[in-house]
């Protein structure tokens, strides 16, 4: 037994230390494609803060890299193992410690699954908005690591906006407490937000205090069919300019619709070029939906179909939630971009993406959180076709370049991980990058926390 | 002419460099009491980013401290001059550069006055929520520096939640761009939020991209009179537990009511122990107000008075907005605390504050953003009475201690500045403080940016 494993085992229960090579190898990857992963030396599954501190103290003493993991549903390779690392899986720290309807907070451990928390707070009439497509699997710790989003963001924002305070085990094992349990608080630098989205590179989140909202009424949706992506994007701009605040505003292009139909047999319209889903969760959504329907028609929609009720609305949403999985099935694998542009530039991004697909002879389906300008152009390719895989990677990068040219960002909600590391430098520029490195050095002087990720 | 002034003048128009000792001295303070201020060596008033860069390069080369200032309405001494410093006033960088109703953003310079921006975006049907009491005077740059709040926060949150991206001149004069213009974005560490609330200690904000909301309907308010602070706090908890989201939920105690009457002759009820103001800005506020009125009655309100219309609601708000000024007038001066506790602990904070006032034989008026648990216990005292001033300072500290004991923070929205520096260390603890120092060192290795403030 290596010194590393021996010292880890000295402070952990036997069942919390996995060393079987096959088992350990199964923890090597998250769900991103094109990202290298090494073989972990060991996987640890602590249940307490003290155990996490023990892991970090040990790894720090031996200068062994530590890769924190949640459910490994990430799409950027941030949770991929590095050769010889300790994989620190937080999935067994999965307790909801406190839910308070007056303070409207939940205190949770990082391994709580997003959907579990959402259902638990719903029992108190409360609402935890962030809803990544993987919400039935992904963990709150992972959501915090990547500052992930979802369908709700156009009205409710991303994970970051719901994190009030954190307990974080630092690289050297010390415990840092950030933020607050109060509704407001501005004491000192905002270390909470610095940790959120840092993809495990600054510390290990072991507890989070989350802000909750009152549960809104169930949302009511409409679907609008457009003869072109341009017209659908025009509708998005008209809807936002008119002052509406939908609870979701999603776009699926024809490739996506067909893929979803192939997978789910839902019978979505395949002749249309772009389908827009809009929903409202206000007490009286009817007039909003009617106004949005009229704006869609004015922008050129060929058909506007309001859902009959909340159940039918939920079905439309379910279609949208399966989009990425369905696109992956088209050719066996896919690369999912996450470019976010100002809403006013959305049409240009979609047009440019179509041109990139054509130039490379590729299928690129686009689904988008259109109300946020956050698109997921998804490059479908056969991984066994080497040239197609090369062109897929090229097109993936060209889409990010286009996003930056349009005043956007390379990642709206999936994070940087390994996949977009070189593009992050492009987006941030050298001054910002230097400050990033300086901050990393302050938190993790020996560079053991998720090394080689983000920047 | 000193070398400092000579070199500053070489890159600035003559009218941007103030050296007259009387004029310079008039820039020494913000609005906080009990905070020492030194005499600035010079005041500079740049109009461009390049001029700010020149100022910082010069100060950095000569290792001269720089104290950034907005309207100096701050309440913690963060904008107070240090001896021999360069006061860098941003008030002449006061242009609104861009307002976009589709992207729902505004791009502004730091010297724009909060109310000016609010009115400008209102012309586009948009809404910039943060509304500190000083909103007619305070600048967006100052709001960002202190992450300031206001009456809106119970529904709309603090300044930090509206800052999407920043241009920041660093200590050495380099320009840093943070964040984004898009609705979402998670690329890299959240340097935007790190700068917000850093009170000028990490860099000089020279441009901000702000998120806007659709303008809500004008709010409709009610006032409820309570026989005790306890009963009013109970009403706050009942309102929040019932799932309401008022657009404001404010409390004024008897001392505050009397002070406001003395100043404004508004005829607020003086026999009641606590007045609660609740408002809703939904399309149909009537049923919400009715339900809240019933909850107030159930909690023991002796009287519930709904406003007749939006104008009468505005009058009630105006009363609340004058509270701090009115309390200051009671005995010539005041110290305004800013303790925020979980809503569930609000009653304990008010009871403890009353005991502190009694123990020290002092008048302490309390107005509070009750819906946030954010209180402003305001110690009224005669500054010429040395012993009273000493007791005022003691009671001010005891209230912060109590706030921390109740799981709260020493500052909900005013910042730390000089006034709460020693208490910040108490709230953060040694691990967090060490990280704060490390981050400060990364941004400002020579310690020239607002030295001696915050921590």
| Residue of chain A with shortest Cα separation from B190 | A194
Please provide residue B337's backbone torsions phi and psi, each rounded to the nearest 5 degrees: -80, 170
Distance CA B133, CA B248 (A): 13
Please give the mean pLDDT across all residues of chain A.
96
Verify whether the Cβ–Cβ distance B411 to A187 is below 8 Å.
yes
Q: How far apart are CA B423 and CA B51, in angstroms?
A: 36
For B220-405, CATH number?
3.40.462.10
By the 10 Å C-beta count (0-12 exposed, 13-18 middle, 19+ buried), B325 is classed as middle
The whole-angstrom distance between A125's CA and the closest CA on chain B is 7
Sequence spans of domains, chain B: 3-89, 96-214, 220-405
Write the pLDDT tens digit of every residue in B395-426. 999 999 999 999 999 999 999 999 999 999 99
Q: How does pLDDT run across B275-324, given as a tens digit for each residue?
A: 999 999 999 999 999 999 999 999 999 999 999 888 888 888 888 989 99
Asked if B182's CB is within 8 angstroms of A341's CB, the reply is yes
Give A105's contacts in chain B (Cβ within 8 Å): 342
Residues in chain B closer than 8 A to A371 (CB atoms):
183
CB–CB contact A191 B412 (8 Å): no
Q: How far apart are CA B376 and CA B366, in angstroms?
A: 6
What are residue A40's phi and psi, to 5 degrees? -65, 150
Q: How far apart are CA B8 and CA B173, in angstroms?
A: 13
Identify the closest residue of chain B to A146 by CA–CA distance: B186
CB within 8 Å: B442 and A441: yes
Please report residues of B whose CB lies closer than 8 A to that of A198. Answer: 189
Q: Are strands A248-253 and A175-179 parallel, antiparallel or unpaired?
A: unpaired
Non-local (6+) Cβ contacts of A125 within 8 A are A101, A214, A215, B243
Using CB atoms within 10 A of its CB, is residue B136 exposed (0-12), middle (13-18) or buried (19+)?
A: middle
Mean pLDDT, rounded, of chain B: 96
Distance between CA atoms of residues A68 and A90, nearest Å: 7
Chain A with chain B: Cβ pairs closer than 8 A: 260
pLDDT over threshold 80, residue A384: yes
Residues of chain A neighbouring B250 (CB-CB closer than 8 A): none
Q: Is the pLDDT of residue A1 over 80?
A: no
Q: In the 3-class helix/strand/coil scheme, how is A161-201 assigned residue by residue? A: HHEEEEEEECCCCCEEEEECCCCCCCCCCCHHHHHCCCCCC
Residue B181: closest C-alpha in chain A: A342
Interhelix angle A310-321/A323-331, nearest 10 degrees: 40
Q: What is the pLDDT of residue B332?
A: 87
Which chain B residues touch A161 with a CB distance below 8 Å?
161
CA distance A398 to A418: 17
What pairs with residue A214 in β-bridges? Answer: A126
Q: What is the pLDDT of residues B104-121, one digit of tens each?
A: 999 999 999 999 999 999
Q: How many angstroms away from the CA of B2 is the closest CA of chain A? A: 32
Beta bridge partners of B207: B167
Q: Which CATH class is domain B3-89?
A: alpha beta
Cβ <8 Å between B428 and A158: no
The Cα B18–Cα A201 span in angstroms is 46
Task: Say how far apart CA B404 and CA B337 lie, in whole Å.
Answer: 13
- pLDDT tens profile A14-61: 999 999 999 999 999 999 988 999 999 999 999 999 999 999 999 999
- Tell me which chain A residue has its CA closest to the CA of residue B148: A186
The sheet that has A163-169: what strands, in order across it? Answer: A96-100, A105-108, A204-211, A163-169, A175-179
* Closest residue by Cα to residue A149 from A138, A134, A159, A161: A159
pLDDT exceeds 80 at position B3: yes
The closest CB to that of B102, out of A214, A344, A409, belongs to A344
Report the C-alpha gap between B215 and A243 in whole angstroms.
8
How many whole angstroms from its chain centre is CA A150? 7
Residue of A nearest to B195 (CA): A189
Round to whole Å and give the CA distance between A453 and A69. Answer: 13
Chain B interface, mutation test: which of A101, A125, A435, most B Cβ atoms within 10 Å? A435
Find the length of chain A: 455
Q: Read off the pLDDT band of B372 (50, 70, 90).
A: very high
pLDDT, residue B310, reads 86
Q: How far apart are CA A115 and CA B88, in angstroms?
A: 49
Query: What HEC string does chain B produce?
Result: CCHHHHHHHCCCCHHHEECCHHHHHCCCCCCCCCCCCCCCCEEECCCCHHHHHHHHHHHHHHCCCEEEECCCCCCCCCCCCCCCCEEEECCCCCCEEEEECCCCEEEECCCCEHHHHHHHHHCCCEECCCCCCCCCCCEHHHHHHHCCCCCCHHHHCCHHHHEEEEEEECCCCCEEEEECCCCCCCCCCCHHHHHCCCCCCCCEEEEEEEECEECCCCCEEEEEEECCHHHHHHHHHHHHHCCCCCCEEEEEEHHHHHHHHHHHCCCCCCCCCEEEEEEECCCCHHHHHHHHHHHHHHCCCCEEEECCCHHHHHHHHHHHHCHHHHHHHHHCEEEECECECCHHHHHHHHHHHHHHHHHHCCEEEEEEEHHHCEEEEEEEECCCCHHHHHHHHHHHHHHHHHHHHCCCECECCCCCCCCCHHHHHHHHHHHHHHHHHHHHHHHCCCCCECCCCCC
Could you count the other beta carbons within 10 Å of the beta carbon of residue B80? Answer: 28
* Contact residues, chain A, for B213 at CB < 8 Å: 245
Among A1-10, A198-207, B273-282, B309-318, which stretch is predicted with the lowest mean pLDDT?
Answer: B309-318
d(CA A176, CA B428): 9
Say whether A102 and B154 touch across the interface (CB within 8 A).
Answer: no
Strands (E) in B172-219, as ranges, are 175-179, 204-211, 213-214
Greatest CA span in chain B, whole angstroms? 70
Chain B hits for A186, CB-CB cut-off 8 Å, are 146-149, 158, 160, 197, 409, 411-416
Per-residue pLDDT reduced to its tens digit, B232-282:
999 999 999 999 999 999 999 999 999 999 999 988 898 999 999 999 999
| CB contact (8 A) between residue B175 and residue A455 | no
- CATH annotation of A96-214: 3.30.465.10
Put simply, the answer to whether B409 touches A442 (Cβ < 8 Å) is no
Cβ pair A411:B186 closer than 8 A? yes
Q: Yes or no: say if A33 and A332 are a contact pair by the CB < 8 Å rule.
A: no
Phi then psi for residue A452, to 5 deg, are 85, 0
**Percent of residues, chain A, with pLDDT higher than 70:** 100
Quick one: pLDDT band at residue B34, thresholds 50, 70, 90? confident
- pLDDT given for residue B89 in this prediction: 98
Q: Which residues contact B60 (CB under 8 A, 6 or more apart)?
A: B171, B172, B173, B446, B448
**CA of A241 to nearest chain B CA: how many angstroms apart?**
5
Residue A413 and residue B177: Cβ atoms within 8 Å?
Answer: no
Q: What residues have CB less than 8 Å from B430, skipping those under 6 apart?
A: none
> Which among B102, B244, B372 has the least Cβ separation from residue A240?
B102
């Amino acid at each position: 037994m290596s010194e590393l494993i021996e010292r880890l085992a000295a402070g952990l229960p036997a069942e919390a230390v996995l060393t079987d090579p096959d088992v350990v190898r199964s923890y090597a990857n998250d769900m991103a494609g094109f990202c290298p992963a090494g073989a972990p030396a060991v996987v640890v599954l602590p249940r307490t803060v003290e155990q996490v501190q023990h892991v970090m103290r040990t790894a720090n003493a031996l200068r062994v890299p530590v890769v924190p993991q949640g459910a490994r549903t990430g799409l950027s390779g941030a949770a991929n193992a590095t050769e010889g690392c300790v994989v620190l899986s937080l999935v067994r720290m999965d307790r909801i410690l406190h839910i308070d309807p007056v303070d409207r907070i939940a205190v949770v451990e990082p391994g709580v699954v997003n959907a579990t928390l959402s259902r638990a707070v719903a029992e108190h009439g409360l609402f935890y908005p962030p809803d990544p497509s993987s919400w039935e699997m992904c963990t709150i710790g992972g959501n915090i690591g990547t500052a992930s989003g979802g369908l709700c963001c156009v009205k409710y924002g991303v994970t970051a906006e719901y994190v009030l305070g954190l307990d974080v085990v630092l690289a050297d094992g010390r415990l840092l407490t950030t933020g607050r349990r109060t509704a407001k608080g501005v004491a000192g630098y905002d270390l909470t937000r610095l940790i959120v989205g840092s993809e495990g590179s600054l510390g290990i989140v072991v507890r989070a205090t989350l802000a909750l909202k009152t549960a809104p009424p169930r949302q009511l949706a409409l679907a609008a069919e457009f003869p072109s992506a341009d017209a659908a994007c025009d509708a998005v701009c008209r809807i936002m300019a008119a002052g509406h605040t939908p609870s979701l505003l999603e776009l699926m292009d024809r490739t996506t619709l067909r893929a979803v139909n192939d997978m789910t047999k839902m019978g979505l319209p395949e002749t249309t070029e772009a389908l827009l889903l809009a929903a409202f969760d206000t007490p009286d959504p009817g007039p909003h939906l009617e106004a949005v329907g009229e704006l869609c028609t004015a922008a050129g929609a060929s058909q506007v179909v309001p859902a009959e009720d909340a159940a039918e609305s939920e079905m439309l949403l379910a279609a949208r939630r399966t989009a990425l999985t369905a696109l992956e099935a088209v050719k066996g694998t896919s690369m999912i971009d996450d470019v976010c542009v100002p809403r006013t530039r959305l049409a240009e991004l979609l047009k440019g993406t179509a041109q990139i697909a054509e130039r490379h002879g590729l299928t690129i389906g686009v689904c988008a959180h259109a109300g946020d300008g956050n698109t997921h152009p998804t490059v479908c390719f056969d991984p066994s076709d080497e040239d197609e895989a090369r062109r897929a990677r090229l097109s993936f990068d060209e889409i990010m370049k286009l996003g930056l040219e349009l005043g956007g960002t390379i990642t709206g909600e999936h994070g940087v991980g390994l996949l977009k590391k070189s593009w992050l430098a492009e987006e941030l520029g050298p001054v910002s990058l230097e400050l990033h490195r300086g901050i990393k050095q302050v938190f993790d002087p020996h560079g053991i926390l998720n090394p080689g990720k983000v920047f």
